[in-house]
């Protein structure tokens, strides 16, 4: 049983088409024998958004017009699930961009639009499907706007199953929803409804008016488009799986192969390297991280630089831990390595907060503000500026020998470009000998 009878009656106004469509969804799920454990209902906002609790399937309720994004995410995470959206005409307008892009990608979500031609829940305001001349709370003299043909819009965007059906047409409704659920790619059903509280009384809109309106637009009902095509979540999943296994292979052989042992006593240490664009701070931090990985440690790196990447500061936070890292931030650094004025500016706020357990290693030409941390000035004169960060990291390692310096030498030796490797080895010697 897909709809829980003990939860009924539905909360909608008497005669509201939403009730009929929910019953039809229950029958369609029954017809296709959907596995409730593998079925996800994603509801949008509005009266239609009150539907979740009546269903014995997984449910997710989100922001207005954004339900498409949740269902896309769920489908991408698990392409085997039947994921369907319950959304109003209001939600299709507000989230129109998400809707057409989901259709364009042909991702296999099923969108059921409860098209009652107005915003029901908020008091009958006009929506993107309110007919020209339609009276609503926000268009009391009749809407001056041309409405969207939602089915046509989705079809033009690339949706591979598109249908238009009237909520009052029970047989067609059940069959169309079941077909949409069984379709492999993106499916959209534009369900024409009656809002008995607002649009219907304001416009004397009944079954006959609905037929006349559909005819006046020259619209057809029934299945308007049904095409086979590559379903996006499966295409993307197979591509990503391939990449992931590739990365794992690489990680197990070159990055995380434990070649050295560490002597890290604390749970973790945090090192901040602060320099400028062009000083290869991120690269040096990455190489240092690889060295720690080769000692069986866990490493995270968080980089910060301006959007104008070739100017201003370049700061890397390196966290090295005995356990898996779930939080990348460094609240209280153990070491701050400062190699330029731009870098100093970025860490100026941090320095006064350090205690005497921390070290600040810095270019001796910089003016370091007051701090309780141990200050270690370094004369980097003669070293290429692209390896100042490496020299500092090597220096720090000689002070805090939580891993063998050979691990760092090995990571630097693995740098593929000869010139860069040579410069970094020189900086390594400088840092470890000085
Ligand atoms: C982003 C955003 N804008 C506005 C609202 C206020 N709001 C709540 S329900 C609703 C109308 C819903 O209309 P529709 O999507 O057609 O669903 P119906 O109530 O007709 O079933 C609006 C505008 C909201 N919740 N979020
Ligand atoms: S306001 Fe309209 S859409 Fe909402 S429950 Fe009442 S009839 Fe249905
Ligand atoms: Mg509506």
Decide whether any atom of ligand 2 lies within 6 Å of the 116 Cβ.
yes
Q: What's CA 65's distance to the chain center, in Å?
A: 16
Residue 243 and residue 234: Cα distance in Å, rounded? 14
Q: What CATH class is the domain 256-433?
A: alpha beta
Decide whether any atom of ligand 2 lies within 6 Å of the 47 Cβ.
yes
Nearest to 68 by CA among 109, 38, 21, 127: 109
pLDDT of residue 187: 98
Decide whether any atom of ligand 2 lies within 6 Å of the 18 Cβ.
yes
pLDDT of residue 250: 38
Nearest CA to ligand 2 atom 1: 120
Q: Contact 231/184 with Cβ under 8 angstroms?
A: yes
Ligand 2 atom index nearest CA of 46: 4
DSSP for 182-226 reads H-SS-EEEEEE---TTTHHHHHT--HHHHHHHHHHHT---EEEEE
Neighbours of 102 (CB within 10 A): 27
pLDDT of residue 372: 97
Give the closest ligand to the alpha carbon of residue 90: 1
pLDDT tens, the chain, 434 aa long: 899 999 999 999 999 999 999 999 999 999 999 999 999 999 999 999 999 999 999 999 999 999 999 999 999 999 999 999 999 999 999 999 999 999 999 999 999 999 999 999 999 999 999 999 999 999 999 999 999 999 999 999 999 999 999 999 999 999 999 999 999 999 999 999 999 999 999 999 988 899 999 999 999 999 999 999 899 999 998 877 554 444 433 333 344 578 999 999 999 999 999 999 999 999 999 999 999 999 999 999 999 999 898 899 999 999 999 999 988 889 899 999 999 999 999 999 999 999 999 999 999 999 999 999 999 999 999 999 999 999 999 999 999 999 999 999 999 999 999 999 999 999 999 999 95
Give the closest ligand to the alpha carbon of residue 199: 2
Strand pairing class (313-321; 298-304): antiparallel
Ligand 1 atom index nearest CA of 45: 9
Interval between CA 370 and ligand 1 midpoint (Å): 55
* 340 Cβ neighbours under 8 A, 6+ residues apart: 274, 275, 276, 279, 313, 363, 366, 388
Residue 313 and residue 309: Cα distance in Å, rounded? 9
Give the closest ligand to the alpha carbon of residue 48: 1
Q: Which of 15, 197, 201, 206 to mutate to test the pocket of ligand 2 (most atoms within 8 A of CB)?
A: 197
Interval between CA 120 and ligand 3 midpoint (Å): 5
Neighbours of 85 (CB within 10 A): 28
DSSP for 22-56 reads HHHHHHHHHHHT--GGGEEEEE-SSGGGG-GGGBS
Decide whether any atom of ligand 2 lies within 6 Å of the 196 Cβ.
yes
Decide whether any atom of ligand 2 lies within 6 Å of the 114 Cβ.
no
pLDDT of residue 239: 78
Ligand 1: which residues within 6 Å by Cβ?
45-48, 64, 88-91, 94, 114, 116, 119-122, 127
Q: Contact 163/128 with Cβ under 8 angstroms?
A: no
Relative orientation angle of helices 96-105 and 67-77, to the nearest 10 degrees: 30
* 314 Cβ neighbours under 8 A, 6+ residues apart: 275, 276, 277, 278, 279, 281, 282, 303, 304, 305, 342, 343
Decide whether any atom of ligand 2 lies within 6 Å of the 103 Cβ.
no
So where are the chain's domains? 5-234, 256-433
pLDDT of residue 247: 40
Ligand 2 atom index nearest CA of 18: 8
Give the closest ligand to the alpha carbon of residue 195: 2
Residue 135 and residue 54: Cα distance in Å, rounded? 32
Residue 247 and residue 198: Cα distance in Å, rounded? 57
Helix (H, G, I), strand (E, B) or coil at 177: helix
Burial of 411 (0-12, 13-18, 19+ CB in 10 A): buried
Interval between CA 259 and ligand 2 midpoint (Å): 67
Neighbours of 81 (CB within 10 A): 19
399: left (phi over 0), alpha (psi -120 to 50) or beta: alpha
pLDDT of residue 238: 82
Decide whether any atom of ligand 2 lies within 6 Å of the 16 Cβ.
yes
Give the closest ligand to the alpha carbon of residue 202: 2
Interval between CA 127 and ligand 3 midpoint (Å): 7
Residue 113 and residue 99: Cα distance in Å, rounded? 11
Ligand 2 atom index nearest CA of 197: 7
Interval between CA 197 and ligand 2 midpoint (Å): 6
Ligand 2 atom index nearest CA of 196: 7
Q: What's CA 26's distance to the chain center, in Å?
A: 31
pLDDT of residue 47: 98
pLDDT of residue 434: 59
Beta strands in 290-393, from DSSP E residues, in sequence order: 298-304, 313-321, 335-338, 359-363, 374-378
Interval between CA 91 and ligand 3 midpoint (Å): 8
216-243 burial code (b ≥16 CB/10 A, e <16)? eeeeebebbbeeeeebbbbeebeeeeee
* 22 Cβ neighbours under 8 A, 6+ residues apart: 3, 10, 51, 54
Nearest CA to ligand 1 atom 1: 64
Q: Contact 391/363 with Cβ under 8 angstroms?
A: no
CATH fold of 5-234 reads: Rossmann fold (3.40.50)
């Amino acid at each position: 049983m897909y709809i829980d009878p003990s939860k009924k009656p539905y909360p909608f106004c008497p005669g509201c088409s939403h009730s009929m469509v929910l019953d039809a969804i229950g029958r369609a799920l029954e017809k296709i024998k959907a596995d409730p454990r593998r079925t996800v209902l994603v509801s949008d906002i509005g009266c239609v958004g009150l539907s979740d609790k009546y269903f014995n399937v997984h449910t997710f309720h989100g922001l207005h017009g954004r339900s498409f994004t949740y269902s896309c995410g769920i489908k991408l995470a698990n392409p085997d699930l039947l994921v369907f959206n319950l959304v109003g005409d209001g939600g299709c307008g507000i989230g129109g961009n998400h809707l057409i892009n989901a259709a364009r990608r042909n991702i296999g979500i099923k969108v059921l639009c409860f098209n009652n031609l107005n915003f029901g829940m908020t008091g009958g305001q006009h929506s993107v499907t309110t007919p020209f001349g339609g009276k609503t709370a926000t268009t009391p003299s009749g809407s001056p706007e041309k409405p969207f043909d939602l089915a046509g819009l989705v079809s033009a965007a690339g949706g591979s199953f598109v249908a238009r059906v009237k909520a009052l047409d029970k047989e067609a409704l059940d069959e169309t929803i079941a077909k949409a659920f069984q379709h492999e790619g993106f499916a959209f059903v534009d369900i024409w409804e009656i809002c008995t509280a607002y649009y219907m009384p304001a416009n004397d809109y009944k079954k006959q008016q609905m037929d006349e309106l559909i005819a006046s637009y020259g619209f057809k009902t029934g299945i308007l488009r049904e095409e086979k095509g590559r379903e996006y979540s499966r295409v993307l999943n197979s591509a990503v799986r391939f990449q992931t296994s590739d990365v794992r292979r690489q990680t197990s052989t070159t990055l995380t192969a434990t070649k050295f042992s560490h002597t890290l006593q604390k749970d973790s240490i945090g090192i901040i390297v602060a320099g400028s664009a062009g000083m290869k701070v991120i690269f040096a931090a990455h190489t240092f991280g690889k060295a720690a990985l080769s000692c069986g440690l866990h490493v995270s790196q968080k980089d910060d630089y301006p959007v104008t990447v070739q100017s201003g500061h370049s700061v890397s936070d390196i966290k090295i831990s005995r356990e898996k890292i779930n939080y990348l931030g460094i609240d209280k650094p153990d070491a701050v390595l400062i190699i330029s004025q731009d870098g100093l500016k970025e860490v100026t706020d941090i320095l006064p907060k350090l205690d005497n357990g921390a070290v600040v290693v810095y270019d001796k030409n910089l003016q370091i503000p007051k701090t309780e941390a141990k200050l270690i000035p370094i004369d980097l004169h003669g070293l290429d500026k692209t390896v100042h960060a490496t020299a500092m990291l090597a220096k720090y390692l000689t002070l805090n020998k939580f891993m063998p310096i050979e691990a760092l030498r090995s990571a630097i030796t693995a740098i593929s470009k000869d010139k860069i490797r040579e410069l970094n080895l020189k900086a390594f010697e400088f840092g470890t000998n000085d």
